[in-house]
Structure 1
């Protein structure tokens, strides 16, 4: 659930960043402390350190030892229990509560986030590192003593780079790394907890970059593992603003359940502007606000503001405090509108290179949504300049934009609060996702998993064609590193294989290019550039690049990115090949327009759904590429010959009622 990890204190891109108690751009100023009560500091103070907010634990908290009985009592009272792993301050926890669950346990390693969670939620909040086997085992043992209905969380998923996977395989083969390392990546730890506890429902959330960065390898692996033990799953890229979150924010959501294959999300709500979100909060004028101040509701309070004020003290407001601003920056703020770019600021006022920082400062607009609130706000609030006043957002304003209600408090300093808010899942988004996992009034009969059927069909089709004319376009043992590289450099169309196959078979027999093979390709009028690359491959085929480190072949042969991707696919690497024919196949099967709109986001989600995960994923990916070349033409596709036609929306002439990942 780590949305945008704060940069290091000495990061050269943020030369003014201070420790987590400092004010914005205040490194060269005098230090002082914030007055208590309703007294506030003025902008004459350049560095302002906030107090540390200590919060009491929730009155219905429990201990790890008493967890089993506490849960039994809740279940006896008709409660559904949820667990939040990597919980942070509890944005996802609050969403689950609003959707009808009781959060029985949460896990995090950040001390201030744990204090925040313990104050705002019942149950037990545990300081554990789930990458550590002992911590993982103790948590699983505790959860197995209770009837857990839902496990949720946003594991910090560092994408597996393809080079990283190759390196791990080589270390295992060399005996310098165990095949099964008990200290796991956090997404693996999350998955192990889920598979051992086996709740009815699972919710996983993360930023889209986590998936896009490694061709959805991690996500497809998670989904494949869940489905193999009986879960039905759904993968979505969700715009948070569709569920009442007043900011531009897209999240990756994986849902899974064992009791049904229905995922009924609530209807999207009306768009919420920044004016509706925070305009009722008091103006600070020439101050930095305070921990506590009086609040008077405006005459025309928006529905969003009414929701945020529910259960808050009617005349009090908490944590409406921001950092001080340098005088020169305050002058700049006064000249800016929401359309002003940093490069448009007068040169004598700029302190950063415009080529590096094109959006260093960003003033928000009352009539629009906010830019996405991330953990970066803990170090630098200048991406979030108030729409009207010459200052950055307050803790309470940032919390509102993330949809934390006004009664929700954050332990620690002002910067600790900003970090917790920026790392959080917006509670209203969490509520929408959790709503799709509610138990159904009557348990409908589960349908056959359409995605499994389609993936099995793709695998069988590819395996049969690997024995025939298209053997060299599908990964498998028949393609050694040299042969795969030759096919990549030639990139033959299916119709050309009748000519190329005899020579390719000769190369595959020894996984070597011979002079006679090169002569045959020249006689077949292979383009000059490809011949030169084949000659370069011949010259290195007996060296360590091919024999020991074939992943370095693309660099040695100066392959273009598209060639590199194809080579790795033919070598059996698990990746998504994003080409127009491939995206067309995925969009037509699903009945979407993702091959024409949002190809690199929604289009890749569609492709990930179709390819799936597991050992045969590379074979299915290559099969989809081949189907795009053979059957799924832009016009007049040969649907009758396509193996996907029985499950294809386009081939059937209509959209599918429901397809499950």
Structure 2
């Protein structure tokens, strides 16, 4: 496709949007739909998505499909490697010309797809040379560029981890921007922290935004709405990630720092305080084992009333709840319940291990076990003391501080939730699926397909919807301003 043909297609999209049509979104590697929630709330039309994980795709169908049912083919899992943008356009009944397809292309591509891709290799993926075509690590990015070519979007959004700024010793977003600028886009990238945008979680994410030249504007990023002093360690991680940023290229957008006058970042208690107390595991684990992921439990009214964040999670447009919500499954780890109860807020694994050793020593004395080689002594220790080396796993456990945002949720929560121990010592457990969803800013009406582990994985993999909304609202404003007609003076149009 020639540059002139590309410009013609993009101008056609601009004209369609000027008629008042909603911008159409195609999201690849969508996951369960965290970014989609933000895009939808900002006024974009969710036309199609691509997601290979069947449980994440089923969650997407439950929440965004027509009438939120599972019988519409657009919302079922598709493999990016096997599904072309042309296939999606045809299946949806859109025009087969690119100007009749998608306006926004969003992607949360796995960071592994970018490993060791240098400038020459990335250009090879883009089609200038076929020397790098067979490397499987580049497959997703190669397909992504094909989606760009097939749909000629007006706006591109890419989300990833900050480490992609220093991946194999080079800056991958800079390479991405270089390639997209050659294709007729204006680009920018930066790091956004979810806690700065009302999410009760300290989560750093890299965003790349590209806007087609035809719109005539350079991408910008949303200003923070909440204040937080970043916990120790995050500034150091940023410095490592930013080591290879070329400040002179003009593509890296200075990281917004929140003003102290802004509302404080949302703390964990404000985020979770109205959700049901889960304590059955302490007396009768069978009650928890019988519970299903979609079983609804009633809300409760915390002391001091309902927080603004809780109200938002209950009343997100299209996902409203009234009396209660589902997702109240937790991991059953009886060995550790006494440790969870006694652990201080903000404490991590070394402190938990010391506490376990103290509890074990007391139990040994009570049982009068004097032989540390006896089966009884060894069995008791196994039943009470976690086996992990504190020096090797210092951050494996963490008890949340009720007044502060949580640590970053990860996909590993599908296997282990010890990184998010509930702040309420009376409940003595790790977070439930719904609590993890709240910490990620998923509204209470959002449903997750699959079993507990799959739900945790989907939540940990997601873009926080409130962060997605902040980015989407900023982009919608930029698009609307670019589409606005020129002002008129004395009957004449002026720029």
After superposition, residues 478-517 of structure 1 pair within 5 angstroms as none
Normalising by structure 2, we get a TM-score of 0.67
Normalising by structure 1, we get a TM-score of 0.51
Shift of the alpha carbon at 1:115?
A: 0.7
Which of 406, 410, 416 is the equivalent residue of 1:370?
406
What is the aligned-residue RMSD (CA, Å)? 3.1
Shift of the alpha carbon at 1:213?
A: 2.0
1:80 corresponding residue in structure 2: 23
1:292 corresponding residue in structure 2: 296
In 1, distance between residues paired with 2:95 and 2:147? 10
In 1, distance between residues paired with 2:114 and 2:331? 38
SS of match in other structure, 1:377: helix
SS of match in other structure, 2:27: strand
Task: Give ranges in structure 2 of 5+ residues lacking alignment.
Answer: 1-15, 67-73, 227-264, 361-384, 486-495
After superposition, residues 528-567 of structure 1 pair within 5 angstroms as none
In the alignment, does 2:42 pair up with 1:92?
no
In 2, distance between residues paired with 1:429 and 1:420? 16
Deviations along 1:285-310, whole A, 9 cap, x unmatched?
A: 23375422122444611111100001
1:138 corresponding residue in structure 2: 87
- CA change 1:314–1:154 in 2 (3 A) is same
After superposition, residues 110-509 of structure 1 pair within 5 angstroms as 110-122=53-65, 124-132=74-82, 135=84, 138-139=87-88, 145=96, 146-158=100-112, 162=116, 180-181=133-134, 184-258=138-212, 259-270=215-226, 271-287=265-281, 290=291, 291-298=295-302, 300-310=305-315, 311-326=319-334, 328-344=335-351, 345-346=353-354, 347=357, 348=360, 349-388=385-424, 389-438=427-476, 439-443=479-483
Shift of the alpha carbon at 1:160?
A: 5.2
- CA change 1:180–1:343 in 2 (3 A) is closer
- CA change 1:231–1:168 in 2 (3 A) is closer
In 2, distance between residues paired with 1:74 and 1:230? 19
Deviations along 1:603-653, whole A, 9 cap, x unmatched?
A: xxxxxxxxxxxxxxxxxxxxxxxxxxxxxxxxxxxxxxxxxxxxxxxxxxx
Task: Give ranges in structure 1 of 5+ residues lacking alignment.
Answer: 1-72, 446-661
Shift of the alpha carbon at 1:138?
A: 3.1
In 1, distance between residues paired with 2:48 and 2:120? 37
In 1, distance between residues paired with 2:170 and 2:55? 32
In 1, distance between residues paired with 2:131 and 2:65? 40
Q: Are the counterparts in 1 of residues 164 and 171 from structure 2 also a CA contact under 8 Å?
A: no
SS of match in other structure, 2:79: coil
- CA change 1:74–1:316 in 2 (3 A) is farther
- CA change 1:85–1:404 in 2 (3 A) is same
In 2, distance between residues paired with 1:168 and 1:268? 36
User: Which of the pair has more CA radius of gyration?
Assistant: 1
Moved more, 244-253 or 140-149: 140-149
SS of match in other structure, 1:368: coil
Shift of the alpha carbon at 1:229?
A: 2.0
Shift of the alpha carbon at 1:178?
A: 5.4
Shift of the alpha carbon at 1:144?
A: 6.3
Q: Which one scores higher on RCO, CA 8 angstroms, separation ≥ 6?
A: 2
Aligned pairs, number: 365
1:107 corresponding residue in structure 2: 50
SS of match in other structure, 1:202: strand
In 1, distance between residues paired with 2:88 and 2:312? 35
SS of match in other structure, 2:481: coil
In 2, distance between residues paired with 1:160 and 1:115? 27
Shift of the alpha carbon at 1:414?
A: 1.0
In 1, distance between residues paired with 2:24 and 2:121? 38
Deviations along 1:193-236, whole A, 9 cap, x unmatched?
A: 12321111111101112332234543222111211122111101
Deviations along 1:329-366, whole A, 9 cap, x unmatched?
A: 11111221123332233334342111211122211110
After superposition, residues 16-55 of structure 1 pair within 5 angstroms as none
Shift of the alpha carbon at 1:390?
A: 0.7
SS of match in other structure, 2:271: helix
Q: Are the counterparts in 2 of residues 159 and 218 from structure 1 also a CA contact under 8 Å?
A: no
Q: Are the counterparts in 1 of residues 52 and 80 from structure 2 also a CA contact under 8 Å?
A: no
- CA change 1:93–1:136 in 2 (3 A) is same
- CA change 1:213–1:338 in 2 (3 A) is farther
